[in-house]
């Protein structure tokens, strides 16, 4: 039981961090489907920097690359007003491809000084709280939420909607970068092509599951972690085939989405903001 709870938190943490990153962007009105690629690129950056300079510079480098990749998405999704879904998918593909290509020389190398997972888990939980406080208690957070609900109002206030969305993508990108660093420096201290293995997509699903609420994202991520662990813990001891266990987290998402009915997505989500329209 203790083990299950521990695994729930430790496996839930990368999903939580990446989910919080996606959540910030979405609350400002930008859909970020690039999470998987951003996370992969950050994981590689973290590993490469940790090899050269040590684990903490690795974390900082991943944070930086995450932020930059968030701003890069902003260039298309905010400034150029491209279709956010297409732009996000492009960033996902680009990040996965680039990390695979650039990461070849790091394949098959162990990491000398892995970071403790517990530290990341603690940071993840604190960040969930901070994101919640930021969104609900600060002026900037209010503008960020408004940019996702009613960008026109933000604009009338004389605040740049694009600027707010860039901020959300940048901060969110940083969180996604941390998720990547967790994977390659702590959870699985090494680098392999495609090591994110779909966690970025789970993070995107988590945002919807959590109804765009950071604290619910915390619970949701840990719940994913618990399910994930249990699928292997219970396999063989209960008469359920292993394939059914493997599908369970996804079935659960579908179930929750179906039950949640009309979800409370930010009203302007996915819509590029254009003045005077």
Partner 1 sequence: MRRLVLGVLAALGLALGQGDKLKACFIYVGPVGDAGWTYAHDVGRKKAEAALPWLETRYVESVPEAQVVPVIDRFVREGCRVIFATSFGYMDGVLEAAKKYPDVLFAHATGIKRAPNVATYMADFYQVYYLNGLAAGALTKTGKVGYVAAFPIPEVKRHINAFALGVRAVRPDAQVLVRWINAWYDPAKAREATEALLAQGADVFAFTEDTPTVIQTAARKGAYSFGHYTPMLKFAPDHVVSGQIVHWEVIYIDFLKKVKEGVYTPKNLQNVDYFWLLQHGAVEVGADYGVPINPKHVPLLKAAQMTVEGKKVPVYDRIMSLLEAMRRPNPTFDPFTGPIKDRKGVVRIPAGRKATLNELLTMEWAAPGVVGDWPGEPR
189 binds partner 1 (CB under 8 A): yes
Distance CA 92, CA 235 (A): 33
190 binds partner 1 (CB under 8 A): yes
Site for partner 1, residues 212 to 231, rule: CB under 8 A = 228-229, 231
Distance CA 71, CA 65 (A): 10
In the complex, least distance from residue 17 CB atom to partner 1, rounded to whole angstroms = 14
In the complex, least distance from residue 41 CB atom to partner 1, rounded to whole angstroms = 15
Q: Is 71 exposed, middle or buried (0-12, 13-18, 19+ CB in 10 A)?
A: middle
In eight-state DSSP terms, residue 104 is: G
3-state helix, strand, coil in the chain (%, to 5): 75, 0, 20
Residue placing its CB nearer to partner 1 in the complex, 43 or 171: 43
Residue placing its CB nearer to partner 1 in the complex, 54 or 194: 194
In the complex, least distance from residue 187 CB atom to partner 1, rounded to whole angstroms = 7
104 binds partner 1 (CB under 8 A): yes
Pick the closest to residue 251 from 234, 227, 217 (CA basis).
227
In eight-state DSSP terms, residue 142 is: H
SS3 at position 84: helix
In the complex, least distance from residue 97 CB atom to partner 1, rounded to whole angstroms = 10
Residue ranges binding partner 1 (CB under 8 A): 3-4, 7, 11, 100, 103-104, 107-110, 187-190, 192-195, 197, 199, 228-229, 231-233, 235-236, 241-243, 246
């Amino acid at each position: 039981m203790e083990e299950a709870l521990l695994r729930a938190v430790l496996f839930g943490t990368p999903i939580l961090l990446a989910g919080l990153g996606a959540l910030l962007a979405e609350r400002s009105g930008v859909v970020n489907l690039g999470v998987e690629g951003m996370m992969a690129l950050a994981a590689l950056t973290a590993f490469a920097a940790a090899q050269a300079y040590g684990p903490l510079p690795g974390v900082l480098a991943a944070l930086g690359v995450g932020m930059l990749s968030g701003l890069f998405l902003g260039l298309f999704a905010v400034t150029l007003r491209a279709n956010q879904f297409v732009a996000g998918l492009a960033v996902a593909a680009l990040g996965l491809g680039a990390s695979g290509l650039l990461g070849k020389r790091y394949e098959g190398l162990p990491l000398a000084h892995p970071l403790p997972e517990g530290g990341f888990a603690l940071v993840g939980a604190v960040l969930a709280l901070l994101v919640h406080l930021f969104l609900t208690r600060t002026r900037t957070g209010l503008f960020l939420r408004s940019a996702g609900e009613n960008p026109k109002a933000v604009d009338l206030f004389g605040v740049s909607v694009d600027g707010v969305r860039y901020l959300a993508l940048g901060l969110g990108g940083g969180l996604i970068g941390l998720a990547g660093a967790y994977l390659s420096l702590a959870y699985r201290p090494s680098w392999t092509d495609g090591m994110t293995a779909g966690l970025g997509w789970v993070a995107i699903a988590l945002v919807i599951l959590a109804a765009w609420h950071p604290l619910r994202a915390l619970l949701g991520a840990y719940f994913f972690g618990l399910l994930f662990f249990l699928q292997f813990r219970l396999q063989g001891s209960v008469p359920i085939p292993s394939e059914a266990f493997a599908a369970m987290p996804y079935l659960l998402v579908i179930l929750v989405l179906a039950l949640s009915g009309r979800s409370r997505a930010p009203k302007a989500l996915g819509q590029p903001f254009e003045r005077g329209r």
